[in-house]
């Protein structure tokens, strides 16, 4: 392997997009002419995740050939990164003996995830081929609910005993280093497998070789349960800058650990979910929007759209019911979208910051009552600022003080209301134990629209009935002191 190629591959790796394209292209042409040595040389400096993506891009008939050219350890790493479709196709295309070995050696958590998506028949077949130990572990992981620590954890960790010396423990770490996911966090358990302490490999290598583990370890262990929500697990690792967190069952026995690499994916997934909720798109199981077909795309969007359209029917009803006011002052109609839009935007702003604040827990220091209070004040303040901009325009374009004043008063009411609803609903949902992102931004926007339109037309109606002379007061461009000339 020339140094030049190695460094150029790694330069591309940071950009990642072109790297996969380049590797896929070269891989395909090398495989087409059967130049297998070149394939091996090509893939040597490439990271497993990039190899997996390149193999996934190959025509199906070449995937199995490329996969077979990998060394055994690399094959296992690459297989874990492949998308489910390619994983399944390789399972059927390669000899079952070869694949049994790969599946046997996969991390238990990655294997459980694969089994979760395979047809039941294939899972039964594969399970029966696993060694009893691996079979037990996989069945156990599959027994935990999705999106919990139990499902996310790996059962491969190193556990030590309090009475061992640092030297003995280091020897255990050495021996088990190859087949555990991490050797950097070490766990101490008692005879009943209960977790009694943790230490890092850093603690171990710096300890006096003759020191007892009980003297080196930290006894105050922070652990999560098998049923802890994955988001809470992620927040724990993030907050405390851990590399891993131990998972215990109801009897406080250590059953697994969750590592930081899985947690990054959870944080990303939760952010996508929040964003999709803000955009009225239903989140999929994975971040697979751009690989799913058009009907899946439509299905993930049509439900929210339909709900929002039906909610809009109420706005239409409000306008139709107040047809008379509009008939008398047609130009009032010109500002319905502006008011609805501004209310919607203020509501969207408030719900965005509150939903994100709940996700990142930055809102917790303030408390829900104060948070809503702040948003109400912010809404009113923004309403006043917008009035300065909007009232002169409405007065002039609506060709009367009636339109200008109706727009002005309702603008203030709408922004205040929108901020209240935008902050209040997600917090209420959170209190009720529901996902605050369910109270999605577009839903708040649409509700604000109904209420805002009603307020606007009622204010206009009241002004028209009680101060009809306002209608005669022309645009601001002709009368700077409109009340004086009425």
* Residue list 365-404, contact with a copy of itself (CB under 8 A): 365-366, 371, 374, 377-378, 381-382, 385-386, 389-390, 393-394, 397-398
Q: Which member of 85, 146, 264, 438 binds a copy of itself (CB under 8 A)?
A: 264
- Judged by CB under 8 A, the stretch of 94-102, 132-140, 152-160, 168-176 that binds a copy of itself is 168-176
Q: Which residues contact 251 (CB under 8 A, 6 or more apart)?
A: 194
> Which positions from 89 through 148 interact with a copy of itself, judged by CB under 8 A?
none
Smallest distance, a copy of itself to C-beta of residue 42, A: 12
Q: Which is nearer to a copy of itself, 369 or 481 (CB)?
A: 369
Nearer to a copy of itself, 15 or 97 (CB): 15
In terms of residues, how long is the chain? Answer: 486
Q: If binding is defined by CB under 8 A, does position 73 make contact with a copy of itself? A: no
**DSSP per-residue string spanning 388-450:** HHHHHHHHHHTTSHHHHHHHHHHHHHHHHHHHHHHHHHHHHHHHTTS-GGGS-HHHHHHHHHH
Site for a copy of itself in 177-206 (CB under 8 A): 177-178, 183-184, 201-202, 205-206
Q: Name residues contacting a copy of itself, limited to 274-293 (CB under 8 A).
A: 274-276, 278-281, 287-291
Q: Which of residues 81-100 bind a copy of itself (CB under 8 A)?
A: none
Within 210-363, residue ranges assigned H as helices are 213-216, 230-240, 260-278, 294-321, 323-328, 336-359
Report the C-alpha gap between 417 and 423 in whole angstroms.
10
| Least distance between a copy of itself and beta carbon 136 (Å) | 26
Burial 364-399 (b: 16+ CB within 10 A, else e): eeeebeebbeebbebbbebbeebbeebbeebbbbbb
Piece in contact with a copy of itself (CB under 8 A), picked from 105-113, 134-142, 157-165, 314-322: 314-322
d(CA 254, CA 157): 10
Are 68 and 97 in contact by the 8 Å Cβ rule? The answer is: no
Q: Which of 85, 167, 302, 438 binds a copy of itself (CB under 8 A)?
A: 302
- Do 436 and 363 contact (CB within 8 A), yes or no? no
Are the C-beta atoms of 154 and 142 separated by less than 8 Å? no
Residue of 26, 47, 89, 189 interacting with a copy of itself (CB under 8 A) = 47
Considering only residues 201 through 240, tell me which ones interact with a copy of itself, judged by CB under 8 A.
201-202, 205-206, 219-224, 228, 232, 235-240
Of residues 138, 315, 400, 406, which one binds a copy of itself by CB under 8 A?
315
d(CA 433, CA 277) in angstroms, rounded, equals 17
Counting contacts by CB under 8 A, is residue 313 touching a copy of itself?
A: yes
Q: In this structure, are residues 150 and 144 in contact, taking their beta carbons and an 8 Å threshold?
A: yes
Q: What's the token pair of residue 215?
A: 């003297």
**How far apart are alpha carbons 316 and 321 in whole angstroms?**
8
- Please report, as residue ranges, which positions from 322 to 361 form the binding site for a copy of itself (by CB under 8 A): 323, 326-327, 330-331, 333-338, 340-342, 344-346, 348-349, 351-353, 355-357, 360-361
E strand or H helix at 186:
strand 185-189
Residue number with CB closer to a copy of itself (21 or 129): 21
Minimum distance, C-beta of residue 342 to a copy of itself, in the bound complex (Å): 6
User: In terms of Cα–Cα distance, which of 110, 148, 356, 154 is closest to 243?
Assistant: 154
Nearer to a copy of itself, 120 or 365 (CB): 365
346 or 473: CB nearest a copy of itself: 346
Strand partners, 123: none
CB of 139 to a copy of itself, least distance (A): 26
CA distances from 164 to 124, 170, 188, 206, 482 (A): 41, 10, 10, 16, 91
Q: Measured from the CB of residue 224, what is the shortest distance to a copy of itself in angstroms?
A: 6
| Closer by beta carbon to a copy of itself, 70 or else 126 | 70
Check residue 252 and report its DSSP letter: -
Residue 245 zone, left/alpha/beta (φ > 0; ψ -120 to 50; rest): beta
Site for a copy of itself in 431-450 (CB under 8 A): 441-442, 445-446, 449
The smaller minimum CB distance to a copy of itself, of residues 215 and 288, is found at 288
CB of residue 450 vs a copy of itself: minimum separation in angstroms?
A: 9
Residue 429 binds a copy of itself, judged by CB under 8 A? no
Q: Is 481 in the site for a copy of itself (CB under 8 A)?
A: no
């Amino acid at each position: 392997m020339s140094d030049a190629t190695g460094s150029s591959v790694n330069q591309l790796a940071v950009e990642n997009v072109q790297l996969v394209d380049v590797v896929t292209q070269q891989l395909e042409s090398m495989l087409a002419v059967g130049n297998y040595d070149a394939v091996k040389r090509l893939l040597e400096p490439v990271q497993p995740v990039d190899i997996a993506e390149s193999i996934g891009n190959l025509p199906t008939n070449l995937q199995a050939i490329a996969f077979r050219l990998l060394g055994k350890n690399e094959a296992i790493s690459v297989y874990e990164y492949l998308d489910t479709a390619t994983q399944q196709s390789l399972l059927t295309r390669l000899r079952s003996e070869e694949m049994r070995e790969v599946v046997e050696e996969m991390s238990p958590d990655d294997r459980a995830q694969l089994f979760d998506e395979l047809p039941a028949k294939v899972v039964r077949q594969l399970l029966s081929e696993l060694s009893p130990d691996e079979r037990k572990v996989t069945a156990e992981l599959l027994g935990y609910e999705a999106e919990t620590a139990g499902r996310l954890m790996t059962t491969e960790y190193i556990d030590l005993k309090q009475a061992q010396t640092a030297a003995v423990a280091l020897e255990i770490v050495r021996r088990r280093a190859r087949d555990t996911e991490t050797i950097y966090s070490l766990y101490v358990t008692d005879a009943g497998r209960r977790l009694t302490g943790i230490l890092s490999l850093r603690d171990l290598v710096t300890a006096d070789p003759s020191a007892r583990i009980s003297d080196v370890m930290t006894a105050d262990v922070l652990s999560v349960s098998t049923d802890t929500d994955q988001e809470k697990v992620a927040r724990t690792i993030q907050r405390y800058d851990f590399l891993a967190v131990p998972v215990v069952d109801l009897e406080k026995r250590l059953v697994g650990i969750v590592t930081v690499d899985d947690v990054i994916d959870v944080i990303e997934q939760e952010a996508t979910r929040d964003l999709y909720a803000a955009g009225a798109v239903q989140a999929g199981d994975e971040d697979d929007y751009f690989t799913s077909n058009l009907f899946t795309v439509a299905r993930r969007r049509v439900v929210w759209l339909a709900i929002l359209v039906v909610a809009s029917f109420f706005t239409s009803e409000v306008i139709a019911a107040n047809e008379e006011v509009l008939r008398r002052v047609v130009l009032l109609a010109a500002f319905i979208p502006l008011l609805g839009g501004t209310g919607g935007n203020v509501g969207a702003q408030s719900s965005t910051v509150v939903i994100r604040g709940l996700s990142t827990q930055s809102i917790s220091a303030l408390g829900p009552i104060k948070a809503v209070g702040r948003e109400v004040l912010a809404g009113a303040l923004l309403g006043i600022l917008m009035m300065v901009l909007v009232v002169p325009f409405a007065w002039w374009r609506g060709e009367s003080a009636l339109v200008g004043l109706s727009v002005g008063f309702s603008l203030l009411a709408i922004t205040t209301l929108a901020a209240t609803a935008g902050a209040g609903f997600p917090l209420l949902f959170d209190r009720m134990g529901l996902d605050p992102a369910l109270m999605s931004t577009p839903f708040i926007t649409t509700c604000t629209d109904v209420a805002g339109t009603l307020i606007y037309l009622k204010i206009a109606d009241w002004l028209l009935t009680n101060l009809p002379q306002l209608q005669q007061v022309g645009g601001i461009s002709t009368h700077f002191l409109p009340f004086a000339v009425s």
